[in-house]
Structure 1
Amino acid sequence: MGEFKHLVVAKFKEGLNVDEIVAQVEKMVSDIDSVKSFEWGHDVEGQDMLTQGFTHVFSMTFDDKEAITSFLTHPKHLEFCPTFSAAIDKIVVLDFPSILVKAAVPPPSPQPPPALEETPEAALPPVLTSTPLPTPATAAAATPASASA
């Protein structure tokens, strides 16, 4: 079986310092090895009809169902639960096996500039040389005397 997800969708109580709670969630998750990855987000559209007041989502990835159980029973998670629960107005929690339909495509890695190769002299184009054109004085000197009469 593939990875498992732990998804938490939350509406926090009014007047609460949500940034502080999120920082505590980040710290708690960072300290628990069974959490393979963690990400969170805050709704920015604010369409209350669709969000029903929920504002934050927390998503954790685990290798398997046993890893979720390890997380849920971990002392640091159990210690943090009362703090998180006291801050929540409404919550939805889902634990499920993840079915990957389309994997994220990693951005292309930057390609190093092509190496400058030394070109053998035989492959270089020939260098054009020119013979200096005669000046009028040199042209007269080069002309035989018999041709000038």
Structure 2
Amino acid sequence: MRTFLQRALFLLLATGMSLSLLAADAEKKKGSSKPGKLQHVVSFKFKKSATPEQIDQVVKDFKGLKKQISQIDGFKWGTNVSPEKHDKGFTHTFILTFASDKDRDDYLIHAAHKEFGAKLGPVLEDVFVMDFWPGK
């Protein structure tokens, strides 16, 4: 009976240690990967002379990049609704998501992106761009 209890205790301890090591290894792997998708945030401040029709065309053209550039995983946009009055004149924000830095870099040099950027001169006063990995 004593031998049985010793073996049972040994098996319980060995199982507990194995599970603990597996959990630690899984947590280590989880922590080493980049969480989520790369977020590419673009905010536009339009010239006072830009007409609503011109601004609508910019939005339409920007949205159209998703169909032209396969590296874009996701695309969202909206206009400022913050009551804080810290927008510094920026009215439109676009958030594009990419699976990797390389996908973002490929997007930046893509002909469709370059063509879109070239059209902005007449209507755009300023642009703000920031990229980040969620939680980093």
Q: Deviation at 1:99?
A: 2.5
Q: Deviation at 1:57?
A: 0.4
Residue aligned with 2:90, SS: coil
Gaps of 5+ in 2: 1-33
**Relative to total residues, which structure has the larger helix share, 1 or 2?**
2
Amino acid in the other structure paired with 1:75? A
Aligned to 1:74: 110
Matched, 1:58 2:80: no
Using the alignment, how far apart are the partners of 1:65 and 1:85 within structure 2? Answer: 27
Distance 1:31 1:88, change over 3 A: same
Using the alignment, how far apart are the partners of 2:98 and 2:82 within structure 1? Answer: 29
Aligned residues: CA RMSD: 1.8
Equivalent residue runs for 1:1-149 within 5 Å:
1-2=34-35, 3-16=37-50, 17-45=54-82, 49-99=85-135
Per the normalisation by structure 2, the TM-score is: 0.65
Q: State percent identity of aligned pairs.
A: 27
| 1:89-108 deviations in Å (ceiling 9; x for gaps) | 121101222229xxxxxxxx
Distance 1:85 1:66, change over 3 A: farther
Using the alignment, how far apart are the partners of 1:46 and 1:19 within structure 2? Answer: 23
Counterpart contact for 2:49–2:123, Cα < 8 Å: no
Amino acid in the other structure paired with 1:11? K
Q: Deviation at 1:80?
A: 1.3
Distance 1:18 1:52, change over 3 A: same
Gaps of 5+ in 1: 101-149
Using the alignment, how far apart are the partners of 2:109 and 2:128 within structure 1? Answer: 19
Moved over 4 A (4+): none
Size of the aligned set, in residue pairs, is: 99
Amino acid in the other structure paired with 2:78? G
| 1:29-85 deviations in Å (ceiling 9; x for gaps) | 3211100000000113465x3111110100000001001001001111111111124
Structure with higher Rg: it is 1
Per the normalisation by structure 1, the TM-score is: 0.60
